Structure 1
Amino acid sequence: MEEALTRQEILHSLYSMGVELPPATKLPDEALNSRLDDAIKSCQELPDILPSPASSTLRITSLGDWPSGRLKVAKAIDRANLGEVAQNSMLNPELQGSGVDVLGDLRYIVHGFADNWDQKMKAFFLNDPDDQQTLTIALRIVHIKRIDDSTPVLTVLYSTYTPEAVSLAEAWDDEQADPATGQPPTYMKTTLIQQKALLRILKFNSRYVPANFHPDRSALESDFKVSYIFPVGPLSFEALGKLNLDTGCAICGSRTVKKCSQCYSVGYCGPECQKQDWKNHKQSCVSVKGGTWRTIRVSSCLPGTSGMFASDMNQLASTRRPFGPMTQVDGTSPPPNIHGSRVFLIKLQFGSSHLYIYDRKKSMKCFFVKDNTNREVFDEFLVEMQRSPRVMHDGLKMYRWAKREGDWDLSVCLDKLPLETIRW
């Protein structure tokens, strides 16, 4: 039985995380796997939570045990962002995933492990909901340590069984039964792609296991692998911006040579793919060339804030760290330009006397401040932001196409809406 995700399953998994690549992308398998690894790292917040550099191993033996009775592991392991909380659509751990939302399903499965541990159950079988038993995962939680007061890490032993090895699975099942009650391991119904996605995360996380770390195991677990399970949550704003960058031609995923000259919202490798996509694209194509462009002078910070410390907050920010790291404001250097002369997407947010402007990756963050020299232009932007029936976000935000005209000048297409799906 093939346990690895197929190419299409990788694309499906990335899409469910918010990373949109053309279905027929020509990105090589190595590049797709690398992008999935980056997504796995980000959805577990590994660069932030590991006590040592992400490239090194995790010395699990030096971490303290998770304090029993203080905070249930199932509560501590759940992750959400501000947008989920605001919409009251936070992951419901009682609802089993369908296989459509791979990331959501993984969050459900991880919550299930933690919830059962809280109920003194530590052994699991994950198998097909239709009892086809094409693949079964046996997993046992060895112990749960704490990286910090709100971050548990599960050390697990796991193996896979095919129908041909049913006798071994049954023997392990008998071994893990509670000696006092005869209670067998917990059975979790999971689709094949859910199992394969979990195995992918376990394989990825195994790189952080020290070579000399050998947890206690029974004879039936001699071939079991050891790995960690960290909390799994939605991708952050920064991660989505990075992973959705350079997705290639809208049809085949090859290197983009040109964008649609009418709307600039899609790119192609050449005229053949552009012609092939026109039937789908023409319904949403809006003439940016006929739009009203305004060139504005921007600044790196608000007046009087240079040298202060600040942080950003958005709907994709974690509820655990909504404000992110504090950084010192530099008002003397122009915003970095990673786009060159290309058109790119920006978000504009209204403040009392300014517009906060940034690109999808937040490589460029700047302000358009209302003063005596630009009142009319500033008011134009405000009117456009609140224009009915196109008003979005209570008239406080809008997305537009822009291009750099110099270090401090930004040209913005004022009155044409981008019609692409915006992962922001």
Structure 2
Amino acid sequence: MNPTLSPSNSPKVWRKLSVKRNRAPSYLPPLTQDSHDAALNAIRTYLKGRTSYDSFPVSFRLIVLDDKLEVRKALQCLLSNGKYTPSSGSLGLTCHTGVVSAPLWNSEKSRFVGMFTVSDIIHLIQYYYKSSTYEGAVSDVETLRLESLRELDSTQDTERFPEACEALGLKLVEVAGCLPNGRVLGGLIFGPFPTHTLMLQIVDVGYGCGDSLLLHLKHPSVPRPSLLVGITSLQEHHKRSLERTTDAEPGTKVELYHGDAVYHMEMGKRKHPLDPSSEELPFTSILALDCAYHFRTRQDFLRQSFARLSPGGHIALADICFGTTGKPSRWFKLLGLLGVVPQENIATMEEYLEVIRAVGYTAGELEDISADVFPGFCKFLATQGTGWVLFSKTIGMLAASGMKFVVVKASKPV
């Protein structure tokens, strides 16, 4: 071995000798068997009401709930991980601090499916308050699972929407003078009997699939007309409505037409309920539910309706217009370009009333019900799928920019 390649002697490490340290004297009482047993019992008693999870602060805690868990047990999980602390307010109340939400886990799909929050409990209470008795709610909530909450909320909105549509239809019927109120309609005086057949002639424009027609034919609070005429521009709606109105009462004649709501000369000899030259008896009431803003044009429709109304007859519309002052924004002009609302129909509330008076109507009234329509309508649309969510946001944007949903009433002078 080459001595020049051999490692040099490594230096020695000098270690400091350990120094014995005396333990500090204990100030605890001497350990006895009795004190040992007492300490052990105290620990056991503490652990009976606690878990290792209690060592985490409330803000650090995370509870994950399976969506198959009952709502009652899930609520207990939230409450058991919080506490009540004295409030600093002058009323001396207590405020709750703790876990107020938890992620939901679906074991079948192996993924998170949402959150369970205190808001869900509030919505559940509101749902049972409006749709069930106390006994029914107590019985149902025992077996209600977390996975049913979203379905329940969606069903609740879906059930409210048809009810809201019916309420709007009934309001329009009332505004049009179709409810018993002791006035002369069609030449006969009728009393306060909702089911009594009256000489009342009604034209229902834009009746869709026939829901608004059925109010006149079946609703207990609406008098049965002697003649009910309707017209819609969609063939499928016309066909469906014919099927739904076949069982009308014998005293009511139903005539349904397929075509444009506004009469045009090029229609020739085709019968149209708003033909100004018609020799048929005039109508005592004309209704247009959520459709007049589509007409080309709305002013022509109002003019033709005026010609076909009997003296003292009423017209009622659930319609769209815009703010009372100022010009419509570019968003509303876009509606005209897209054909949703023709440019001629984009008018403020004041301009709408001016058109009614210019045609010859009297007692023109306009009621803004936007706050009762747009929020619920947008919420319902948001539950119908991705495309409808976008449409819901568009409606909300237009409403925030000044679009109004109104109920319009006008009469033909006697």
The structure, 1 or 2, with the larger RCO (C-alpha pairs under 8 Å, 6+ apart) is 1
TM-score (norm 2): 0.24
Structure with bigger helix share is: 2
Structure of larger gyration radius: 2
TM-score (norm 1): 0.24
